[in-house]
Structure 1
């Protein structure tokens, strides 16, 4: 999916993926990651999610990557923080403030060295945002960025014939295809999406990925 697609979505404020409160599955299942206080948690394709506010309130450190500059600006404005801005290269700029670092740019240009060590990955809006042609590339890139790092993964499942994503439907089989070689995979919960996704019946599920 082309970057311009997401820039247009933000420009037109077509951001139905942005939730008005922290995601319940994050709140209910973060403890499954068995994190120490002040852990560093990576949120790929984070947008301006309120999940970040909640994680910071729990005392954790957040590092994210987001393609759209406006989303990053709006995030720091809501947090009432003025970040230090550092241009990493022509693909990435780092915005950093107390306990938070957001890389603005192309996630596929981010390296493990630039990201630094993280204690966990929280993927609510990344895997489901990508079409099938990019998902395998993304999952492999994540394994390079965060080797042997536990993940809390949240996905949607619905009849893809009934609706064109994003968000895309990601099956249990697909999760195992991408991650089974390096993770023990456990389904934590499944719930119906109230009202569906654009009136298409859908389920949202949380998965724990623990390194083998």
Structure 2
């Protein structure tokens, strides 16, 4: 899945994956990460998510990575913030108080440019990537964040009935990617109202990932 695929989605306004409200799984389960106010949360492939506003309003700092500068501009506009824009290697950094979004390929994001991360909130990244890319992505994500604790949201459905994204990622695959580094805890699931994309029955699941000690 090339970068042009996502750029075209944003240019055409084909953003059915964008949620106009805060994700209920975030609101319900974020507290289980047990973070202090001021903690910095990384949102990979964040788009113009409303979840950023939810986190900022509760005293957290936000970092994100997003391919589309159109999406990033939309995010700052909705937040009512005027970002400072600067070049960081192959990336473009959009900065305002308590928020940094890096525009470009997430695989160009390094631990050095990202800075310290206290937790990851992945609602839209793992499920957006095809199977051939997901192992590379999860390894990279752990590398640049020091395997920070994570609230992960996945979807599960019959992939024969619909092509992703979002892709179906089941429990076995979550374990394949993360069980070596994290203790995995299932924290909740619900049926997607009306089906995913209005097409197929799907379950949305929240996972809490805590780094193994030793």
TM-score, structure 1 as length reference = 0.98
Aligned pairs for 1:79-118 (under 5 A) are 79-89=79-89, 91-118=90-117
C-alpha offsets along residues 42-63 of structure 1, whole Å, 9 cap, x if unaligned? 0000000000000000010000
C-alpha offsets along residues 144-194 of structure 1, whole Å, 9 cap, x if unaligned? 111131000000000001000000000000000000001000000010000
Q: Distance in 2 between matches of 1:208 and 1:140?
A: 17
Q: Distance in 2 between matches of 1:164 and 1:82?
A: 37
Which shifted more, 183-192 or 141-150? 141-150
C-alpha offsets along residues 179-210 of structure 1, whole Å, 9 cap, x if unaligned? 00010000000100001113200000000000
Alignment partner of 1:34 is 2:41: no
Displaced runs of 4 or more, over 2 A: none
Q: How far off is 1:80 after superposition?
A: 1.1
SS at match of 1:207: strand
The answer for the alignment partner of 1:4 in structure 2 is: 4
The answer for the alignment partner of 2:185 in structure 1 is: 186
Alignment partner of 1:155 is 2:154: yes
Q: Distance in 2 between matches of 1:81 and 1:40?
A: 18
RMSD of the TM alignment (CA)?
A: 0.6
Q: Is this contact kept in 1: 2:141–2:147, CA < 8 A?
A: no
Q: How far off is 1:5 after superposition?
A: 0.2
Query: How many equivalent residue pairs?
Result: 211
SS at match of 1:63: strand
Q: Distance in 1 between matches of 2:83 and 2:147?
A: 30
The answer for the alignment partner of 1:69 in structure 2 is: 69
5+ unaligned residues in a row in structure 1: which ranges? none
Q: How far off is 1:143 after superposition?
A: 1.1
5+ unaligned residues in a row in structure 2: which ranges? none
Aligned pairs for 1:12-27 (under 5 A) are 12-27=12-27
TM-score, structure 2 as length reference = 0.97
